[in-house]
């Protein structure tokens, strides 16, 4: 719309859009308002719209995904996960075990990662496993341990949800819902987490292109939930030396195409703990908004993903390096607010 467009002119455009079977979305910008037009083939009404009073131009969004593009929303989106603000320019590290195994394992890990400077806690209660005979998580009991860990440390937590029918139960407790790589194109799950209104950590599908990944994000955002954080966690290639191939170039590519924050999971991307710190620092240098890191008190005996899990000492060391690299890049490392009131061990 024109900088001087009146509210009546905006209303008039929205009415025309609606009358033709499309959905108008008002997009306030720094100095003028734009109106997004959603639906199939909105270019078909372009000629009518450009003639309306107050309209400067009607520009087709060139990509198949719409609301997640920079064309739709030029400014970076900040996703608020309780005390953690992901995408505000600072660097947010989310850390914790692959799976919640026991109360003690989770609580000790939560305290350790908080003391080393994590902004949020991770831990799977419902685990997607390649084999049906592997440990598939504690379920509801795992969620209770996560709630307790949050109470003791103040760290908000992200945990995976596997099916649309579990979304409400997990959303009731979690600060952020994780959609795993194996579910990245489970469209009914994407709609369900969209409807939940909770922030969502969306992993890139195992063999998904960046376009497919952004279309998955569009499923969530199109349900009226703008709180999506993209997570690059490695893709499947011919290379067998690493568990997956970390596509670091996906960070600047996704950030240039989309306004959504992008974090990197070097744990699943590499599969080997000695590869996690170098790739974590590389992700920071590549412009990522944060990290998702697996940390375990006793990785050798972890029930899942032990080989890629950092010890507490390794995580602490990594966080020191993260601070130094962040400083060199004029970035701030986000930490959780301190919890004076909480006991140091549980």
Residue number, 42 or 142, with CB nearest to ligand PEP: 142
| Helices 312-328/103-116 angle, 10° precision | 30
Residue number, 24 or 180, with CB nearest to Mn ion: 180
Q: Which residue is nearest to ligand PEP (CB)?
A: 180
Write down the number of H helices and E strands in the chain: 11, 13
203 touches ligand PEP by CB under 6 A: yes
Secondary structure element (H or E) that encloses residue 44, with its range: none
Residue number, 203 or 331, with CB nearest to ligand PEP: 203
Cα–Cα distances (Å) from 289 to 264, 312, 340, in that order, read 8, 22, 27
- Secondary structure class of 215 (helix, strand, coil): helix
Sole residue written with tokens 């005996």: 301
Cβ burial 38-57 (10 Å sphere, 16+ → b, else e): eeeebeebeeebeebebbee
Return the one option of ligand PEP, Mn ion, none that residue 180 interacts with (CB less than 5 to 8 A, by type).
Answer: ligand PEP
Q: Which residue is nearest to Mn ion (CB)?
A: 98
Closest distance to ligand PEP from the beta carbon of 225 (Å): 20
Return the one option of Mn ion, ligand PEP, none that residue 233 interacts with (CB less than 5 to 8 A, by type).
Answer: ligand PEP
Nearest to 80 by CA among 236, 226, 249, 270: 226
The site string for ligand PEP over 83-102 (x = CB under 6 A, - otherwise) reads: ---------------x----
Secondary structure element (H or E) that encloses residue 294, with its range: strand 290-294
Closest distance to ligand PEP from the beta carbon of 135 (Å): 12
Residue from 136, 255, 259, 268 that binds ligand PEP (CB under 6 A)?
268
Residue number, 244 or 258, with CB nearest to Mn ion: 244
Nearest to 126 by CA among 189, 187, 82: 189
Secondary structure element (H or E) that encloses residue 230, with its range: strand 228-232
DSSP class of residue 134 equals: S
Q: Rule CB under 6 A: which of 155-184 touch ligand PEP?
A: 180-182
Q: 25 - beta bridge partners?
A: 36
233 touches ligand PEP by CB under 6 A: yes
Residue number, 123 or 226, with CB nearest to Mn ion: 123
Residue number, 98 or 189, with CB nearest to Mn ion: 98
291 touches ligand PEP by CB under 6 A: no
Q: In 182-341, where does DSSP find H-type helix?
A: 187-196, 210-221, 250-257, 266-270, 276-285, 312-328
The residues, any chain, with a CB within 8 Å of residue 194's CB and separated by 6 or more, are 200, 219, 220, 221, 222, 223, 224, 225
Return the one option of ligand PEP, Mn ion, none that residue 128 interacts with (CB less than 5 to 8 A, by type).
Answer: ligand PEP
> What is the binding site for Mn ion (CB under 5 A)?
98, 305
124 touches ligand PEP by CB under 6 A: yes
Residue number, 87 or 180, with CB nearest to ligand PEP: 180
Closest distance to ligand PEP from the beta carbon of 232 (Å): 10
Residue number, 17 or 94, with CB nearest to ligand PEP: 94
DSSP class of residue 161 equals: -
Return the one option of Mn ion, ligand PEP, none that residue 273 interacts with (CB less than 5 to 8 A, by type).
Answer: none
Instruction: Summarize as ranges the residues that interact with ligand PEP (CB under 6 A).
Output: 98, 124, 128, 180-182, 203, 233, 268
């Amino acid at each position: 719309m024109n900088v001087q467009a009146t509210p009546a002119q905006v209303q008039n455009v929205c009415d025309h859009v609606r009358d033709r079977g499309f959905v108008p979305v008002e997009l306030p910008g720094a100095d003028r308002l734009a109106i997004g037009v959603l639906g199939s083939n909105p270019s078909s009404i372009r000629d009518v719209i450009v003639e309306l009073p107050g309209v400067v131009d009607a520009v087709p969004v060139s990509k198949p995904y719409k609301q997640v593009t920079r064309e739709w929303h030029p400014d970076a989106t900040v996703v608020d996960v309780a005390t953690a603000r992901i995408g505000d320019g600072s660097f947010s590290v989310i850390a914790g075990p692959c799976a919640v195994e026991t109360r003690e394992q989770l609580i000790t890990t939560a305290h350790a990662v908080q003391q080393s400077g994590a902004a949020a806690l991770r831990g799977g209660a419902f685990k997607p496993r390649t084999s049906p005979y592997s440990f598939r998580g504690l379920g509801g009991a795992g969620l209770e341990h996560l709630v307790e860990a949050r109470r003791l440390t103040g760290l908000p937590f992200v945990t995976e949800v596997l099916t649309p029918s579990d979304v409400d139960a997990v959303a009731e407790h979690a600060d952020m819902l994780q959609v795993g790589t194996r579910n990245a194109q489970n469209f009914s799950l994407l709609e369900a987490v969209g409807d939940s209104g909770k922030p969502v950590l969306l992993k890139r599908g195992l063999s998904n292109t960046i376009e497919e990944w952004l279309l998955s994000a569009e499923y969530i955002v199109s349900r009226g939930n703008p709180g999506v954080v993209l997570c690059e966690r490695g893709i499947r290639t011919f290379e067998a030396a690493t568990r997956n191939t970390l596509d670091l170039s996906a960070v600047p590519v996704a950030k240039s195409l989309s306004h959504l924050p992008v974090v990197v999971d070097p744990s699943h991307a590499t599969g080997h703990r000695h590869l996690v710190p170098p790739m974590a620092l590389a992700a920071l240098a590549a412009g990522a908004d944060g990290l998702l890191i697996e940390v375990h008190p006793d990785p050798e005996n972890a029930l899942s993903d032990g080989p890629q899990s950092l010890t507490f000492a390794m995580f602490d060391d990594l966080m020191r390096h993260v601070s130094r690299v962040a400083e060199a890049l004029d970035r701030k490392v986000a930490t959780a607010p301190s919890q004076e009131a909480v006991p140091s061990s549980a």
